Chain A
Amino acid sequence: MDKNQSLMKLSKVSKVFLKGSVDEVTALDNIRLDVGAEDFITVIGSNGAGKTTLLNVISGVYPPEKGGKITINGQDVTRLSEHKRARYVSRVYQNPHIGTAAKMTVEENMSLAMLHGQSRGLRIATNKKYRELFRSVLAPLGLGLEDRISALVGTLSGGQRQALSLVMATISKPSLLLLDEHVATLDPKTNRIVLELSEMIVQKEKMTTIMVTHNMKHALRYGNRLTMMHKGKIIVDIHQEKKSNLSVNDLVVAFEHASGERFSDDSIMLRNADS
């Protein structure tokens, strides 16, 4: 049955900020996670639960505390710097400004992304063949980006920029795609376009994906596996069959059961009215 081979393993991964000070925070607390190659995992959790920190540790922005270990395809990447780990990992951030370079054109941004995680040399980075390719991947978004190939990215709307970030993060077909509340700042319509697009690309390219969201319905609708984080721990991890029958209320119950706390809308921004 197990054709879902393991792609990434996290063991004993912790992260403590401001260690030794009065403001010390344990953002990740002894995380253990086994991500299968066919997984599309959604991650929900309150503000400050450690979701972004988890993605930062996975992509190598900073290493976990001593004793923690991260392997991808069996290779130990725990101490690999962010730019070296880019060979495996690709990411879309919550803020569209982080995923794209404003003072460069759409074409230049895409060309930069084409060589994601590969070595770069002294070849001219843009060419006609790429241009055609870029048009053909941008056109289906329906955002008119294919006609703005030579526009500066800074002149695009937030939605256009985020859609571009997504295309840039996936065009090189990375093994692992990390999405960090990547539609949170978009208006409901673009929000939907970018989400559907994410799912379409993930399915088509069969990318292993971890998607952080603060929207319970999104967490339920997308992916094959749902995890919930709370105070630096993964407190709920629900797989395929069980996940498809889940409702928002089940999640609330699961949360209260696992955390031993009462679920409240204002302290925990899990439930979300929109879409």
Chain B
Amino acid sequence: MNKTKYQPVIGLEVHVELKTKSKMFCGCSAQYFGKEPNTHVCPVCLGLPGALPVPNNKAMEWCVMIGLALNCKIPLVSKFDRKNYFYPDLPKGYQISQYDEPIARNGSLKLKIKNEKLKNNLEKTIRIRRVHLEEDTAKLIHQFGNQKSKIKNQKYEEFSLIDFNRSGVPLVEIVSEPDFESALEVVEYLKKLQQIVRYLDVSNADMEKGEMRLEPNISLREISNVKFQIINYKVEVKNINSFRFVEKAIDYELKRQEELLKREETPVQETRGWDENKQKTISQRSKEEAHDYRYFPEPDIPPVHWTGNQISNIKNQIEELPSEKLERFKKEYGLNDYDAEILTRDKTTADYFEEAVKIGAGHMIAPKQIANVVINKKIDISSTLPAHLITQIASSKQTATLSDEALEKIITQIVDENPKAVEDYKKGKSNALMFLVGQVIRKYPKKIDAGGLRERMEKMLQ
């Protein structure tokens, strides 16, 4: 048997839809979600003859902003190009995109990869090749009709319906170098990217709504002691439209390729689509020939020239990014990595926490305590005002100091009465601990801080 070990080599193309008011090259509304079909269209985004595209200034600034947040260089000159192919979702027969002079290039993004074995985080840097701007395509719906088809071997007429509302919505494409070595790293990167564009407030990046899409290209290379083998194929996977599918699709594809390589076959260079129903990737050979895009400069759009001043103005508009906020939270509020990570996951929670800390200072309530409550009690920050939260914490602080001995007694009793839950918890079911905590709270005559109690019981049951 072939015992060669293989290492995944994965690169990523991510598309992010910008949330501008208007489209990329015309004044139609870009907010197409759930709207009546073909009601956000005009001669430009329908590709009617003679219509001229004019770039949306805000979309270009936001693309620069994304580039800067990803540590890219912003060349002072940029231009648009035509990417030519025929498909019904592309009314002009080409997509306006950027080829050799993208808005941003040569960036990087630092990831923290959890290592289960070593129980720590490893830092890894993914290089970003380029960030460019383009227009989205129309939306296609494939349908079977109830008319008899004229096509041989096809029982009923099969057709596609086109809605051009999405045609021309600004799309930022972020292309990484092939630096990923596992599906886990890809997921971390996507989460991070999503977090950054949301912090920048330039996209909602909701994968289920198609506001963030990814196309990994996947290969395997042999690991030999001496050197890395050169890879001579690359498989592109499309149709991954949910966070839940990312890992499954990539892992499936890696396994498929490994099996081929072990039989000493080379996987075919091709485009494959993830089929969620079948739980596998399926060849989409029909898309192959279209890869000859014959890019050429878009003659209808004059080049874009930035001044250094404009770029630094855009840079100044960028507020604290998630990774900076996380470090500051650790330093300023004495939080550990875990807490700081949860609190900075989205900006709303981070702002809420800081507001509560400010108010809490007047009540001698430590940031760490507030962090515990916000995280462990899963406070609904949309309905509880920070000030109200502080009042709650302050009053529970007064009551929870009821004799420690009484609490100890109740805990022992609950633990004795529920051997099954204790056992479950020791087997790794964290729900069982929450059950026990709940029982203690019920028995305890006064209000008690659940987070503190949980920590205490955790220690006790270790």
Query: Are A and B interaction partners?
Result: no
B→A interface (CB under 8 Å): none
A→B interface (CB under 8 Å): none
